[in-house]
Structure 1
Amino acid sequence: MKKFYTLLFVCLLVLLGACSKDNEDEQETSQNDMEQDEALEENNDKEDLDPATGLFMEFIKENKDSDRVAFLATWNNEPIAEINTDLALPLASVVKIIIAIEFASQAEEGNIDPSEMIAMEEVDKYYFPNTDGGAHDAWKSTLEDEEGDVSLEQIAQGMMDFSSNANTDYLIERLGLEEVNNRIEELDLNHHEPIYPLTASIAIPKKVMEDNNIEENELEDALRDLDDDAYRQIAVDLFEEWQEEPWTDEEKEEAGALLDMSIQKVWSDRLTHATAEDYHQIMAMLNNKEHYSEAFYEELDAIFSLDLEDESIVRTAQKGGSTAFVLNQAVYAEDADGNRFEMILFTNDLNLSELEVAAMQVQALTDKLVNEEDFREEVKETLAE
């Protein structure tokens, strides 16, 4: 990873007026000198941070008492860090882990055949251009025939490896939304909100504006006035309609045009929430290969686990999730000595600079926690302060 440094430059604007007493000028000068010294000291502290992870660790530490971050990491079931573990935050694409579990379970039970071939147009009906950071197109570019048939397993891999939202909603259609949400109950996830279709949620603003005959400047308030159940139901209704009559490209373009930053914030805030505790429970279960059969884990590994060149790691998987305000990560790993690591990181209400830092340093944080005992101890001490 390239080294990443941030310098904090502080400009002090001193307002000087005519003063009749010399000691007032001296006091003001002394105060300015103190502020400059403090700024330089803070700048030096930033320069001393680990260039790979330091800025992000500072963010976590500074926000540990807020509702903007939840962090839970364990090594062999012993905690490295526990911050806001019962705080429910938007999952973004981390929610796709539940759909992957449902996929592997139905494959094991024979309810779906992972090798079944599907026409690409069935998947593409859920695709909204310019709303997924290029994930869907990136997945299709790896296929031999981008517009040909694909297997259910390839669709699931596209959901997990590339985070295609269109693939996700197609799998919800095939697996059944009720079955997906029943899996949350089966896993005994006490703080997990219901899952609802992702691409359909992108169309909620257009639907609300048309159904209520309101202007675009009234849209944000109208969306926030909806309770969670009503909001989710609109997405479900649209999702069911599309299975019979998908939206045209023009309708999708009109919906996408409404997604300014204020509407994206509503969308991000309304994504399915859960806690770090919920997802740590899931990742620890998967890491230990508990609860389900070997056949289940063979299929899950086919769509979820990562291929690594590092021979010291024998099995690992991770799923990230992000919006313009959120960056999340859920990870498990087992090394050659049988040590097991799990990490859940959820964030919310990030500004642009915080999002950039998180995006650049979260993977280094994960890798160092997996591979470096000294770093695990350092994180443990730092976040315990």
Structure 2
Amino acid sequence: MLIYYVIASAVTILLLLVFGFFWLRRWMQKSDADYVLKFIANNPKRASLSIVRNGSDFADFQSDELRPLASTVKIIVAIEYAHQAANGEIDVSERIKTHDLSRYYIPRTDGGAHETWLRSMESKEFLQGGTVSLEEVAKGMIAHSSNANTEYLMMRLGLDRINAKLKRLQLPKHEQIYPIVSRLIIPYEIAQKNKLNIFEKADAKKVQTLIEEMSHEAYIDEAINIHTKLNEDHDGSYKEQVNLRAWHNMAFNDTASKRGIRSTTSEYVSVVQKINDLSYFTQAVQEHLRPIMEWPMENHKNQEKFYHLGGKGGSTAQIVTFALYAEDKQGNKTELAIFFNDVLGYETTKLSNSLSAFQLAVVTASSNWEQKLSKLHNAKNV
């Protein structure tokens, strides 16, 4: 009898575990705007929020805390692109070889973003003779979050010019922008310089320690040096030699995330405010910037509700960020920046899946959500 009891108990536990797993997965996939708000309120060390509504602060929570930006930083690259296009320094119709973009592409490091963008270009028949327009490269950076396109644009526009935009946009806390693909190769170069074999686990751990001990300036310099190598890697031999897939692990990935470029929601809400304000940038700049930023307006439902809706988000295993602006058909303008860091496992998935619902609740500004955000804003100021 005892054996039957043990078996029955084991089966029951197994069924509960299976049920719990499927329940958790379903819960994580379900979009929940309230979850985002509760997470912000309960995790002040890991969350920041800034919302401006018709020129007035609507919500302000940990808005001056520096947090990693992930791909949201690409907004600054888009702004520099628009300025150079408006000034005639670049031709947005120039045909760019996708082979040139591939110099900065490392498979399985961007969630499939670059490949998805390429398939989109092919399906829309924008890909002709292995080339796409420079404008489509910029759109792919924002709408599809292609890291390869981003680093290509860093090369074309100039990192010095991109970083100079931080001062012009009045972003004193914003950290220096540096190549986001090249930084992934830093462990390999550190191993080479210290005569370590990164393909061996013991040496890889030593490399990890050396990177953690690097100064911020040295880390950026290394990324820029690698960027220069990728610029010249026309045949892909350098990337083949690096063979990132063979040694890149979660420890290196975590370090790259922690070393990511940082800013604040206060600064980024000011950036999207400038885009949403028709008087800040010249009309020529706006004509190049809005088509890049306002990819959500391709959705017919958004066209029915908004005159303008644009933004950019970013995510890694530990980071979720987004900055957006909107002008609805009633003329109301909303700007939002929301950053999360040190989020893990189910939190990352749940937040990523819930952000769209949260953003919609904010930009539609129902009375119910005005009250919820007011409570958060007031709680912060107590």
Fold equivalence (TM over 0.5): yes
Structure 2 unaligned spans of 5+: 1-26, 197-202
Aligned residues of 2:59 and 2:377 also touching (Cα < 8 A): yes
Report the alpha carbon displacement of residue 372 of structure 1 after superposing the two structures with TM.
3.3
Residue identity matched to 2:55: N
Q: Is residue 2:333 matched to residue 1:343?
A: no
Distance 1:71 1:161, change over 3 A: same
Q: Is residue 2:218 matched to residue 1:230?
A: yes
Secondary structure of 1:125's match? helix
1:216 pairs with 204, 212, 234, which one?
A: 204
How many residues are aligned here?
Answer: 335
Residue identity matched to 2:228: E
TM-score of the aligned structures, taking structure 1 as reference length: 0.83
- Structure 1 counterpart of 2:21: none
Aligned residues of 2:103 and 2:233 also touching (Cα < 8 A): no
Greater C-alpha radius of gyration: 1
Q: Is residue 2:289 matched to residue 1:300?
A: yes
Q: After superposition, what is the alpha-carbon deviation per residue over 1:304-349, rounded to whole angstroms, capped at 9, x for unaligned?
A: 1131423221101010011110000101000112111011001111
- Structure 1 counterpart of 2:316: 323
Deviates more, 1:190-199 or 1:306-315: 306-315
- Structure 2 counterpart of 1:373: 366
Q: Give the structure with the higher percent helix.
A: 2
Distance 1:376 1:213, change over 3 A: farther
Structure 1 unaligned spans of 5+: 1-46
Q: Is residue 2:167 matched to residue 1:185?
A: yes
Report the alpha carbon displacement of residue 218 of structure 1 after superposing the two structures with TM.
1.1
Q: CA RMSD in A?
A: 1.8
Report the alpha carbon displacement of residue 51 of structure 1 after superposing the two structures with TM.
6.7
Distance 1:383 1:260, change over 3 A: farther
Residue identity matched to 1:263: F
Aligned partners of 2:286 and 2:167: how far apart in 1? 20
Aligned partners of 2:341 and 2:241: how far apart in 1? 27
Residue identity matched to 1:234: E
Aligned residues of 1:131 and 1:256 also touching (Cα < 8 A): no
Aligned residues of 1:158 and 1:164 also touching (Cα < 8 A): yes
Q: Is residue 2:43 matched to residue 1:60?
A: no
Residue identity matched to 2:189: K
- Structure 2 counterpart of 1:153: 135
Aligned partners of 1:252 and 1:339: how far apart in 2? 53
Residue identity matched to 2:87: E
Secondary structure of 2:59's match? strand
Report the alpha carbon displacement of residue 250 of structure 1 after superposing the two structures with TM.
5.7
Secondary structure of 1:70's match? strand
Residue identity matched to 1:73: I
Aligned partners of 1:141 and 1:217: how far apart in 2? 38
Residue identity matched to 1:241: K
Q: After superposition, what is the alpha-carbon deviation per residue over 1:144-184, rounded to whole angstroms, capped at 9, x for unaligned?
A: 34871111001001000000000001111111111111111
TM-score of the aligned structures, taking structure 2 as reference length: 0.84
Higher RCO (CA-CA < 8 Å; seq separation 6+) = 2
Aligned residues of 2:54 and 2:333 also touching (Cα < 8 A): yes
Aligned partners of 2:241 and 2:375: how far apart in 1? 49
Secondary structure of 1:141's match? helix
